[in-house]
Amino acid sequence: MRYLPLTDADRREMLAATGADSVAALFRDVPRDVWLERPVDLPHAMGEIEVERALGRLAAKNLPAGAVPSFLGCGAYRHHLPAAVDHLIQRGEFLTSYTPYQPEISQGTLQSLFEFQTQVALITGMDVANASMYDGATACAEAMMMANRLTRRHKAILAGDLHPHYRATAATYARFAGQSVVERRPDPMAEDDLAALLDGETSCVVVQNPGCFGHVRDFSALAAACHRAGALLVVVVNEIVSLGLVTSPGEMDADIVAGEGQSIGNPMGFGGPHLGLFATREKFVRQMPGRLAGQTGDADGRRGYVLTLSTREQHIRREKATSNICTNSGLCALAFTIHLALLGEAGYVRLAEINHARAVAMAERLARIPGITPLTPSFFNEIAVRLPRPAAPVVEALAARGVLAGVPGGRLWPERAELADLLILAATETTTEDDIAALAAGLAEALR
Amino acid sequence: MSTVKYTRDHEWVRVEGDIAVIGITDYAQTQLGDVVYVELPELGRKVEQGKEAAVVESVKAASEVYAPISGEVVAVNDALSGEPGKVNLDPMGDGWFLKLRIANPKELEALLDEKSYSGFVEGLH
Amino acid sequence: MSEWSKALAGSVAPVEASAPTLSGNRGLMLEEPLLFEQDAPGRSGVDLPPPPPVADRLGVLRRRGPIGLPGLSEPQVVRHFTRLSQKNYGIDLGIYPLGSCTMKHNPRLNEKLARLPGFADIHPLQPQSTVQGALELIDTLARWIKVLTGMPAVAMSPGAGAHGELCGMMCIRAALDARGESSRRRVLVAESAHGTNPATAAACGFTVDPTPANARGRVDLGALRAKLGGDVAAIMVTNPNTCGLFEDEIVAIAEATHAAGAYFYCDGANFNAIVGRVRPGDLGIDCMHLNLHKTFSTPHGGGGPGSGPVVLAESLARFAPLPWLVHDAKGFRLVEETSGASAQALGRIKGFHGQMGMFVRALAYMMSHGADGLRQVSGDAVLNANYLLARLGDVLTASFPGPCMHEALFDDRFLAGTSLTTLDFAKAMIDEGVHPMTMYFPLVVHGALLVEPTETESRQSLDGFIAVVRGLAERASRGEVAPFHAAPGFAPRRRLDETAAARKPVLRWRRAAGSERDAAE
């Protein structure tokens, strides 16, 4: 078996060294009535050819978004990944290394994490960022928990256009921590007066920018209102390319930013693994969850990096930790760092401008189709439109004809019939004029 | 000459009138290693004997500091936020943590005097 | 003085490395500054066309002022990260014997298959009719996991082991609430447990009550029984435990727990010891997380991503978080709302459906081994660990008599009288080109050294490791302590000042004050 180096001669000699008669004897602490005498009922070992064939068959049953015009967004976006990114993250020293607990032989990981943390702080306009979380939804939930700890209050207000998966995750975390959330109704037409909901029990208000329907808003006034009420403002960003063009949460005076970084460096991958981003103000750093890489010096006075402020974490603080998180999204964070290093300031801003331009072209084209009502006057690369009938069957019909026409409201809000005729569409730098033409033709046909 | 009393959790108390100055002992700071951060209570907080009053952190550990006696926090050592190493260098002096207005002087009677505490520490080895 | 101060004090003789060079480089080991120190404004490593002029829709929300990201070309970026990679140890380089981490070889077939466009380039919210192959893969993996563990249900979405623990403990709380027993709030956690266990229990609103081990290193059944009561929600036990021992009274532990009306959460981090030979379902557990990045070979990537599916007993299955994956006559389908059968499901604990990229890798690995191969995996893993125990037991101090499972636990009694600590020993191993074992965990012995070789280490690799450890132990016992205190001397960095890093945290690069583009900060 290709992954097992021991030969039968090795096994015999090593067993002799242990003094045991058989390998089974080494398992003598296992009660006999739960000891399996034979392999379980699963297929036998397979060589590479067979495994490739079996999984290749499964892959072939899926429609890759890159093979057709595709307009899906809502927290996962199709961007071009420069070829160098995937090559670099597959270097064995990055791929097969562990959490950097022995810093002297982990400077590669630690320095790249320090660079990642800096990049995230810069683009979000915040002071400090951690070394990543599982994804945007769990980062959002952890941001809410952190706000609860800091304010010693237990009620979080969740904006109606927060991604429903993020809202649901935050609600689950809150429920089991004995805390509460106020879930505002999603409504693409109305701007909710969140400031009016603040009271002496509010720990934080959680908003998303751009919102789930695509709206781009200024939350500076809301930040001020939160602070007057002793609460914190959490801003969620789940299309991280938007920060190349849109005012950052830091500039709006946000307290915590929870984000999804998948758009930079990582494929959509059917939803995972993705990349949770987490950034905050300097004064809150000791309440921050997740790992942190910090700069220091070694015994020869050379600059180096270590994991630091570890007393916040589970392996030291156990039940009093800021979070139970251990493994995070290290390699996805590295991919992000490499991609953003390749883009640089000029590339990142230009990428955002192209995304916006493609989305404007898409919005203008869709606005000309009879029956379609655009709902998002101000957006980055994603818009919501209202169709004259439920959107899900329209999306299915277009999929059958080779166009992935976006996310129907019924998929994200199955419990809200009033959103079933909504369609949310995203455009990126991979969207061509032909793609938009195919989308428009398909929708016009479906709505005739 | 003010009296200093000790607890089995390695806190010390120095009584100065109706105020108690509290810190951790030299034994505690040696066990802890380099102190990197001290979390101190807010002024005005009322602490109970035996309950957590502060947290002291080294690189690899975080330890609760328990109030040796009950009282109201009237001062905390702000210098520790910039220089937590004072706890290692001068645990009985510059490295003090907080000052309480003593709620119940009788609580001091249950604490160890210097001789008993030294004996207790020796017995730990 | 702390051990750090001792190591950094100038009074210690430096390790005899080669003479300092002009550049600070040493042969193939090259120094590399930060990205931010190589900036040229306007430069980019990606060619993008100028955007067409559009009437933009951002209004006042267009970002003003620079962000501060550095500009580099592709050759510079490739060189930067190549140089950084050289400063990392990895499984590809040598033995990585971290106890309870299961650092086994990461097969490259897994990487190839995860990158197939049919898996990598599909969006999680595509119409389900267009991703039936992906859903079938998840279902197939779920079936393999259920058969290997002997459990009827599995929640696939948790993002890592700790997340799986959270999922499992949330299911337990939901089950207790549904039973009207919300007053059960105490969770008994084995003293030797990984820190995530109590952290998870606390995150779910439970209070943590540590339960002790006996002299044999296992959960003390009598003490556990005494602690069980009507207010106990669950116990959390790792099996095999973090001392590398099989909990031989686990069936009785499960029975006592159930008799007291509580649930049994099992931490499955050490499943590599028993995969294919014992089914945790037969032991009486109610839920258990697996770490696909441990037992099932998905790469650790410097700290993730992982994947932590949670197997569930019948009594907990209905509380599994959304989404559920069902397979019926119409095909594979994700259930994404609470209604009907899923009415009591926990809400979501994560965005989308789970760590699909890790699912592909883990299934490729499982299929490569097959049922027979996975049985061989646990056999070789346990044999390798016992071989190390046998060949090192006379120079190190094993904490418990053998045999052990897939990992062997030693403590620092062998260093008594040498003035050396477990930390010093580990740093000396680095100079020998060997990654140290897990240190100072579990907390139940002093100065722990927990060694897990895994089944993918060859005899030659193990013998090399044994020779290094024996040599260092003998050197220590002869009192040759200076090299230990000064170690490491040959790694890309010597010992780093973690105290300074924690006292005055510098968590990001900042442009020096007074330079251009200050307005951004």
Within a domain: A436: yes
Q: Give the per-residue pLDDT at C192.
A: 86
Within a domain: C132: yes
- Asked if B62 and A316 come within 8 Å (Cβ–Cβ), the reply is yes
Given C350, C365, C380, the domain boundary residue is C365
Contact list in C for residue B36 (CB cut-off 8 A) is 499, 502-503
Within a domain: A1: no
Within a domain: C163: yes
Of the candidates A56, A331, A343, the beta carbon closest to that of C304 is on A331
- Asked if C5 and B59 come within 8 Å (Cβ–Cβ), the reply is no
Which tens digits make up the pLDDT trace of C11-40? 444 444 456 899 989 999 999 999 999 999
pLDDT of C222 higher than 70: yes
Please report, for the domain that includes residue A228, its CATH number. 3.40.640.10
Q: Give the per-residue pLDDT at C520.
A: 42
Smallest Cα distance from B4 to chain A, Å: 31
- Model confidence band, residue B2 (pLDDT cutoffs 50, 70, 90): low
| Residue C498 contacts B, CB cutoff 8 Å | yes
Q: Residue window 437-496, chain C: list those with CB within 8 Å of chain B.
A: 440
Q: Mind spelling out the 3-state secondary structure of chain A?
A: CCCCCCCHHHHHHHHHHHCCCCHHHHCCCCCHHHECCCCCCCCCCCCHHHHHHHHHHHHHCECCHHHCCECCCCCCCCCCCCHHHHHHHCCHHHHCCCCCCCHHHEHHHHHHHHHHHHHHHHHHCCCEECCCECCHHHHHHHHHHHHHHHHCCCEEEECCCCCHHHHHHHHHHHHHCCCEEEECCCCCCCCCCHHHHCCCCEEEEEEECCCCCCECCCCHHHHHHHHHCCCEEEEEECCHHHHHCECCCHHHCCCEEEEECCCCCCCCHHHCCCCEEEEECHHHHHHCCCCCEEEEEECCCCEEEEECCHHHCHHHHHHHCCCCCCCCCHHHHHHHHHHHHHHHHHHHHHHHHHHHHHHHHHHHHHHCCCCCEECCCCECCEEEEECCCCHHHHHHHHHHCCCECCEEHHHHCCCCHHHCCEEEEECCCCCCHHHHHHHHHHHHHHCC
- Asked if B59 and A320 come within 8 Å (Cβ–Cβ), the reply is no
Given A312, A339, A366, the domain boundary residue is A339
User: How does B86-125 read in b/e, with b if 16+ C-beta sit within 10 Å?
Assistant: bbbeebeeebbbbbbebbeeebbeebbeeeebeeebeeee
C263 and C298 in a single domain? The answer is yes
| Residue B33 contacts C, CB cutoff 8 Å | yes
Which tens digits make up the pLDDT trace of C76-117? 999 999 999 999 999 999 999 999 999 999 999 999 999 999
Q: Give the per-residue pLDDT at C104.
A: 98
Within a domain: C467: yes
| Residue C9 contacts A, CB cutoff 8 Å | no
C297 and C381 in a single domain? The answer is no
Domain range holding A135?
83-339
Of the candidates A43, A217, A272, the beta carbon closest to that of C355 is on A272
Q: Do residues C341 and A256 lie in contact, with contact meaning Cβ atoms separated by under 8 Å?
A: no
Please report, for the domain that includes residue C468, its CATH number. 3.90.1150.10
Helix (H, G, I), strand (E, B) or coil at C297: coil
pLDDT of A105 higher than 90: yes
CA A138/CA A167 separation, integer angstroms = 10
| Residue C506 contacts B, CB cutoff 8 Å | no
C352 and C305 in a single domain? The answer is yes
A289 and A360 in a single domain? The answer is no
Smallest Cα distance from C81 to chain A, Å: 7
By C-alpha distance, the chain C residue nearest A38 is C277
Which tens digits make up the pLDDT trace of A386-436? 999 999 999 999 999 999 999 999 999 999 999 999 999 999 999 999 999
C236 and C341 in a single domain? The answer is yes
Which residues fall within 8 angstroms of residue B60, CB to CB, at 6 or more apart?
A310, A316, B33, C440
Phi, psi of B17 (to 5 degrees): 75, -125
| Residue B55 contacts C, CB cutoff 8 Å | no
Helix (H, G, I), strand (E, B) or coil at C410: strand
Which tens digits make up the pLDDT trace of A321-340? 778 777 789 999 999 999 99
Indicate which of B59, B60, B63, B64 best probes the interface with A, i.e. most A CBs within 10 Å of its own CB.
B59
Which tens digits make up the pLDDT trace of B102-116? 999 999 999 999 999
Given A282, A312, A339, the domain boundary residue is A339
- Asked if B33 and C2 come within 8 Å (Cβ–Cβ), the reply is yes
Q: What is the pTM of this model?
A: 0.95
Within a domain: C276: yes
Looking at chain A, the whole-number percentage of residues with pLDDT higher than 70 is 100
Smallest Cα distance from C256 to chain A, Å: 17
| Residue B62 contacts A, CB cutoff 8 Å | yes
pLDDT of A276 higher than 90: yes
Smallest Cα distance from B60 to chain C, Å: 9
Instruction: Read off the amino acid at residue A117.
Output: Q
Which residues fall within 8 angstroms of residue A16, CB to CB, at 6 or more apart?
none
Q: Which of C420, C416, C425, C388 is nearest to C404 (CA)?
A: C388
pLDDT (average), residues A350-358: 97
- Asked if A246 and C347 come within 8 Å (Cβ–Cβ), the reply is no
- Asked if B57 and A320 come within 8 Å (Cβ–Cβ), the reply is no
Within a domain: A294: yes
- Asked if A318 and C130 come within 8 Å (Cβ–Cβ), the reply is no
Within a domain: B40: yes
Within a domain: A121: yes
The number of domains in chain B is 1
Q: Do residues C323 and C347 lie in contact, with contact meaning Cβ atoms separated by under 8 Å?
A: no
The number of domains in chain C is 3
Please state whether beta strands C207-211 and B35-39 pair in parallel, antiparallel, or not at all (unpaired).
unpaired
- Model confidence band, residue C7 (pLDDT cutoffs 50, 70, 90): very low
Q: Which chains touch C (3 or more CB pairs under 8 A)?
A: A, B
A320 and A397 in a single domain? The answer is no
Looking at chain A, the whole-number percentage of residues with pLDDT higher than 90 is 95
Q: Which of A381, A329, A335, A357 is nearest to A74 (CA)?
A: A381
Given C365, C397, C425, the domain boundary residue is C365
Within a domain: A208: yes
C322 and C227 in a single domain? The answer is yes
- Asked if B62 and A317 come within 8 Å (Cβ–Cβ), the reply is yes
Contact list in B for residue C498 (CB cut-off 8 A) is 59
C357 and C376 in a single domain? The answer is no
Contact list in A for residue C50 (CB cut-off 8 A) is 350
Smallest Cα distance from A63 to chain B, Å: 49
Largest distance between two CA atoms of chain A: 82
- Asked if B33 and C503 come within 8 Å (Cβ–Cβ), the reply is no
CA C294/CA C289 separation, integer angstroms = 11
Q: Which chains touch A (3 or more CB pairs under 8 A)?
A: B, C
Please state whether beta strands C232-238 and C186-190 pair in parallel, antiparallel, or not at all (unpaired).
parallel
Q: Give the per-residue pLDDT at A318.
A: 76
A289 and A431 in a single domain? The answer is no
Within a domain: A233: yes
Which tens digits make up the pLDDT trace of A147-183? 999 999 999 999 999 999 999 999 999 999 899 999 9
Within a domain: A249: yes
Please state whether beta strands C153-155 and A373-374 pair in parallel, antiparallel, or not at all (unpaired).
unpaired
Contact list in A for residue B58 (CB cut-off 8 A) is 311
Q: Do residues B99 and B21 lie in contact, with contact meaning Cβ atoms separated by under 8 Å?
A: yes
- Within 10 Å of residue C22's Cβ, how many Cβ atoms? 5
Of the candidates C321, C364, C458, the beta carbon closest to that of A55 is on C364
Given C365, C382, C406, the domain boundary residue is C365
C72 and C33 in a single domain? The answer is yes
- Asked if A4 and C380 come within 8 Å (Cβ–Cβ), the reply is yes
Q: What is the interface pTM, i.e. ipTM, of the complex?
A: 0.97
Q: Do residues C288 and C280 lie in contact, with contact meaning Cβ atoms separated by under 8 Å?
A: yes
Please report, for the domain that includes residue B50, its CATH number. 2.40.50.100
CA A408/CA A398 separation, integer angstroms = 12
By C-alpha distance, the chain C residue nearest B33 is C2
What's the whole-number average pLDDT of chain C? 93
pLDDT (average), residues A45-52: 98
Residue position matching structure tokens 């006996």:
C214
Within a domain: B113: no
C79 and C128 in a single domain? The answer is no
A131 and A227 in a single domain? The answer is yes
- Asked if B62 and A286 come within 8 Å (Cβ–Cβ), the reply is no
Please give the full DSSP string across B34-95, using - where no structure is assigned. SEEEEE-PPTT-EE-TTSEEEEEEESS-EEEEE-SS-EEEEEE-THHHH-TTHHHH-TTTTT
Which tens digits make up the pLDDT trace of C399-451? 999 899 999 999 999 999 999 999 999 999 999 999 999 999 998 899 999 99
Please state whether beta strands C408-411 and A180-183 pair in parallel, antiparallel, or not at all (unpaired).
unpaired
Which residues fall within 8 angstroms of residue B113, CB to CB, at 6 or more apart?
B5, B6
Within a domain: C61: no
Within a domain: B10: yes
A253 and A298 in a single domain? The answer is yes
Q: Which chains touch B (3 or more CB pairs under 8 A)?
A: A, C
Of the candidates C123, C389, C506, the beta carbon closest to that of A295 is on C506
Within a domain: B47: yes
- Asked if A286 and B37 come within 8 Å (Cβ–Cβ), the reply is yes
Residue position matching structure tokens 């969740």:
A158
For residue C306, count CB atoms less than 10 angstroms from its CB and return exposed for 0-12, middle for 13-18, buried for 19 or more: buried
- Asked if A321 and C195 come within 8 Å (Cβ–Cβ), the reply is yes
- Asked if C3 and B36 come within 8 Å (Cβ–Cβ), the reply is no
CA A68/CA C407 separation, integer angstroms = 50
Within a domain: A304: yes
Contact list in A for residue B37 (CB cut-off 8 A) is 286, 311
A41 and A140 in a single domain? The answer is no
- Asked if B61 and A316 come within 8 Å (Cβ–Cβ), the reply is yes
Q: Give the per-residue pLDDT at C462.
A: 98
Within a domain: C296: yes
Contact list in C for residue B59 (CB cut-off 8 A) is 4, 498-499, 502
Within a domain: C504: no
Within a domain: B14: yes
Contact list in C for residue B58 (CB cut-off 8 A) is 2
- Within 10 Å of residue C20's Cβ, how many Cβ atoms? 9
Per-residue DSSP letter, C394: T
Q: How many residues does chain A have?
A: 448
Please state whether beta strands A382-386 and C287-289 pair in parallel, antiparallel, or not at all (unpaired).
unpaired
The number of domains in chain A is 3
Domain range holding C164?
109-365
Within a domain: C416: yes
